[in-house]
A and B are shown apart, each in its own frame.
Chain A
Amino acid sequence: MSIPNCQTTEDVAAGIRRRVFLHSMRNNGGYLSQACSAAESLALLYNEVLKLGEPTLPKVPLPFAGVPSAHNPDAFTGAGYHGPFAPEYDRFIISPAHYALVIYSALIQMGRMDEHALDHFNRDGGSVEMIGAEHSPGMEVTTGSLAQGLSMGSGIAWARKRKGEPGKVWVYMSDGEFQEGQTWETLAAMSYHNIDNIRVIVDVNRQQCDGAMSSVLDLGDLPARVAAFGATTCSINGHDLEAMRDAANSAEPGKPLVILANTSPFQGMPYLQKRFPRLHYVRFKSKAEREEMQTAIAADLGVDLAEI
């Protein structure tokens, strides 16, 4: 990749957490726990694994340019932040669109987006939507209705294989998406069609909107279930970079690769444990509550309070 980058993956992960934390404090809430669970896996992907070209969209995010239609030549997708479509490059599909704030933070940390791009977050008329839309930075397809990204990614992967393109398709998923039947339909189809140029990484934080998955609709032995569908399955610690590196390299011919990254929804911000099991969206009921959290997490992350 031609973007000059000398950060370690650990630094990228720390940067992601710090940016999501600062944004959530300044805006009185946010998808904070997803930064805790996903920071390492996203940092590893963007910093080491994904083969992406230079961004084709301006560093400062564009305003929303209208919905796609035959009459709107201006419509764009956020794929441009992952670089041009070319046979040798990977595509990266983000299926849990509510991870958008974490994705934007990763893009900024990687220098793919402007340092102040989060100022556009959730602003009327902007493209940096709260729930990533197709036109939001880093979003390549429409995925906010969960458990559709994997199917799209499979279709793209099958087509790339047919066309002989060496680039891979990476799909990022949340564990909640494994409650939807569509995920299992895709797993079956990927195995049946031997789609082996797709790599899936799942943030298994065992959390969803209603709280802990075990209290909502438990997925039981997820690795065994996924493996039973014919995917090469690696269940690893999603905060252990070395384990993830190995997993990323373990694809087998004729089979899709699914990496189940087992994570903690308060990794790096132990204070958040106090909020368990309500972690999906962190908000504050009072100023005092906010200040307590702010001070505690700033200390956890080594962030200067004055920065907030």
Chain B
Amino acid sequence: MVELVNRPYAKAFETFATARPEVLCLSADLTSSCEVDGFRDRHPDQFLSLGMAEQNMLSFAGGLAMQGFRPFLHTFSVFLYRRAYDQLINSIAYSNRKVRLMGFLPGITTPGGITHQAIEDISVMRAIPNMTILETGDATEVETVLEVADAIDGPVYVRVLRGEVPRLFSTPFEFNKLRTLSEGDDVLVVTSGVCTEEALRAAEPLKARNVGVHHLHVSTLKPFDRDGLIKAARGKKGIVTLENHTIVGGLGSLVAEILAEEGLGVRLKRLGLQDTFAHGASKPYLMKKYGLDASALTNAIGQLLGRDLDIADAEFETARLDAVHSAQKAEAL
């Protein structure tokens, strides 16, 4: 059973920020939802409450950065880039300011429906020059991403996991380096964020069927560890990408671009939202419905290999269920 860490961000941020006086914590009325309520209460001098006014928060942060502060903005992923996109470009990205956008509840990890589901954030952010994009996939990455983001000379967008987060990795977040989770010869599986845990659930049943899986976890989406990908992709019978995002413009697209540019000619299946909006429902329901789960992955691998792998749902390691309406507040917005 995988270890679950409760609110890893809360503790990591406090440790990180209190050691760095130029770091400021900005919030847009989602302070406890972004796990910085304790920080606000204990370190009010480093905390700026900007209310539910995200456009202002982004441009305001640009001004703070000009003065040598390093603002870390906290709200849900969607509210960092949709309405405030113009502010992001002109107040932050163009001038390459050191503003850190900490985005919570990425993709379909929120039941809040399309207004709360950041399903095209990576696609949009990838198109912005100067932008760095990081995505956390476990508690260790949540705990160690802050220093990585802080070291980058320019704006950074981070997809952060909150609440009860599984610990999958024992080594810290390493900038622009793919994590190798398994090495096999048949297929390459490339995953990010919460989808990595899904892919790990499929590891045993795939092994039992002698499918050699080379599994890479991506935590830096822009820039991208191109060489790592090419090395792993060479000679494979197929590649599957799995992401908590639309397949347009995110991880699947960027892998496709690299494969094409290198002329590798390996077949690729992109799993993720198939160019559709989702709707409000629980995370496990949505992951199954939109094909972001372990069984979608093994089906795709079977298709690439031309084999019926015949894996019953019960064979996948039990999915971790966040209890709704618990203290961990899976439902909380």
Contacts and interface: CB of A to CB of B under 8 A. Distances in A.
Interface of A: 27-29, 64, 67, 97-98, 122, 124-125, 129-131, 133, 135, 142-147, 176-177, 179-182, 208-210, 213, 215-217, 281, 283, 285
Given A129-B280, A179-B29, A210-B49, 16 more contacts: A28-B325, A64-B279, A67-B279, A122-B111, A133-B279, A133-B280, A143-B115, A144-B112, A144-B113, A144-B116, A145-B82, A147-B52, A179-B51, A181-B53, A217-B52, A281-B333
Contact of B78 (A27, A145, A216): A145
Contacts of B331: 29, 122, 130
B33 A142 contact: no
A247 B32 CA distance: 37
B43 interface: no
A41 B329 CA distance: 30
B91 interface: no
Given A131-B112, A145-B115, A176 B285 contact: no
A124 B52 CA distance: 29
Contacts of A217: 29, 49-53
Contacts of B327: 283, 285
9 tightest Cβ-Cβ pairs between the two chains A and B = A217-B51, A144-B115, A124-B285, A129-B280, A28-B325, A179-B51, A133-B113, A145-B115, A67-B277
B332 interface: yes
Given A131-B115, A142-B114, A209 B82 contact: no
B114 A133 contact: yes
Contact of A281 (B50, B111, B332): B332
B276 interface: yes
A217 B52 CA distance: 8
B332 A124 contact: no
B53 A180 contact: yes
A181 B333 contact: no
B229 to A, nearest CB: 32
B149 to A, nearest CB: 24
Contacts of A209: 29-33, 52
B4 to A, nearest CB: 18
Given A145-B78, A176-B29, A131 B116 contact: yes
B55 interface: yes
A135 B52 CA distance: 25
Most buried by A among B31, B52, B278: B52
Contact of A179 (B53, B282, B325): B53
Nearest to A176: B52
B281 interface: yes
A146 B27 CA distance: 16
Contacts of A135: 279
A131 B113 contact: yes
Contact of B29 (A27, A131, A208, A285): A208
Contacts of A145: 78-79, 82-83, 115-116
A281 B53 CA distance: 20
A200 to B, nearest CB: 18
B90 interface: no
B280 A131 contact: yes
Contact of B52 (A28, A67, A97, A180): A180
A182 B279 CA distance: 25
Contacts of B115: 97, 131, 133, 142-145
Contacts of B56: 181
A180 B281 CA distance: 27
30 contacts: A27-B325, A67-B114, A129-B111, A129-B279, A129-B280, A130-B280, A130-B333, A131-B111, A131-B280, A133-B115, A135-B279, A144-B112, A144-B115, A145-B115, A177-B52, A180-B55, A181-B53, A208-B29, A208-B51, A208-B52, A209-B29, A209-B31, A210-B27, A216-B29, A216-B49, A217-B50, A217-B53, A281-B333, A283-B325, A283-B332
